[in-house]
Amino acid sequence: MNEKILIVDDDENICELLRLYLTKEGFSPLIVNDGIAAIEAAEHTEPALILLDIMLPGLDGWQVCRKIRQTSSVPIIMISAKGETFDKILGLELGADDYIVKPFEAKEVVARIKAVLRRVSVPNAVMPKEVSYDNLSVNITNYELKVRGEHVDAPPKELELLYHLASNPNRVFTRDQLLDEVWGFDYYGDSRTVDVHIKRLREKLEGVSEQWELKTVWSVGYKFETK
């Protein structure tokens, strides 16, 4: 395995605990203790995934996540004592792939890391490589979104959700179906996660084409409607 996991937390005890568990599972943990160092490490070490605390010296986790998402789609799991629904939704809106509330079990953190990494490394044979519509191309092999021929940065889960909907045009999916089919059985969140990701996709795709749209089917769910 030997994948790099960047741990960003100013609590040395938590960092050491996570380091021990991740090393045991075959990962290569890297540790930084403040927001500015986190951004530098994310850029220069190219981790497979980032565990990101929110309350950090220098720049907080919200700022770090926002900054990283400007240039990278590396998976991010936020870890925080802030357990309110608002905080979880904010983390997802900023581009986090998952959100874990302190205190936590280290085994659960490892399980979620493995789940996120599985979701972003779907074998090529499982699904077609690309789906295209007017002014839109979603490539699930190299996780690339193109709008009007230009590359648009999007986190892995947004791409997977858009790909899944676009691969099944005009089919209505409930939120629970999307959680099961896109996030997988090992996802720990709730259906509002789907709403957050749809909102972010609409912001990226607004006004791109009159031939298709991400449409809400009230009281049911969502569909990729073609005209």
Rg (CA), the chain: 18
Residues 124-134 have a mean pLDDT of: 71
Rounded CA separation 98/212 (Å): 29
| Confidence tier at 190 by pLDDT (50, 70, 90) | low
Residues 115-120 have a mean pLDDT of: 82
The residue among 163 and 90 whose pLDDT is bigger is 163
Whether the per-residue pLDDT at 119 is higher than 80: the answer is no
Looking at residue 1, its pLDDT comes to 58
Residues 172-193 have a mean pLDDT of: 76
Burial class (CB in 10 A: 0-12, 13-18, 19+), 108: exposed
Whether the per-residue pLDDT at 11 is higher than 60: the answer is yes
| Helices assigned H by DSSP within the chain | 12-24, 35-45, 61-69, 85-93, 106-119, 156-166, 175-178, 192-205
Whether the per-residue pLDDT at 167 is higher than 50: the answer is yes
Closest-CA residue to 51 (of 25, 83, 20, 18): 18
| Confidence tier at 14 by pLDDT (50, 70, 90) | very high
The residue among 189 and 174 whose pLDDT is bigger is 174
* Residue 24 phi, psi (nearest 5): -60, -30
Rounded CA separation 36/131 (Å): 38
- Is the pTM higher than 0.75? The answer reads no
| Confidence tier at 124 by pLDDT (50, 70, 90) | very low
Give the chain's domains with CATH numbers: 4-119 (3.40.50.2300), 124-226 (1.10.10.10)
Looking at residue 125, its pLDDT comes to 43
Looking at residue 128, its pLDDT comes to 53
Looking at residue 176, its pLDDT comes to 85
Q: 140-151: per-residue pLDDT in tens?
A: 888 899 999 999
Looking at residue 187, its pLDDT comes to 55
Q: Provide the pairing of β-strand 76-80 with 130-133.
A: unpaired
Q: 45-60: per-residue pLDDT in tens?
A: 999 999 999 999 989 9
Residues 15-43 have a mean pLDDT of: 94
Whether the per-residue pLDDT at 42 is higher than 50: the answer is yes
Looking at residue 89, its pLDDT comes to 81
Q: Is the peptide bond before 103 cis (omega within 30 degrees of 0)?
A: yes
Q: Provide the pairing of β-strand 150-152 with 144-147.
A: antiparallel
84 is written with which tokens?
Answer: 């309110």
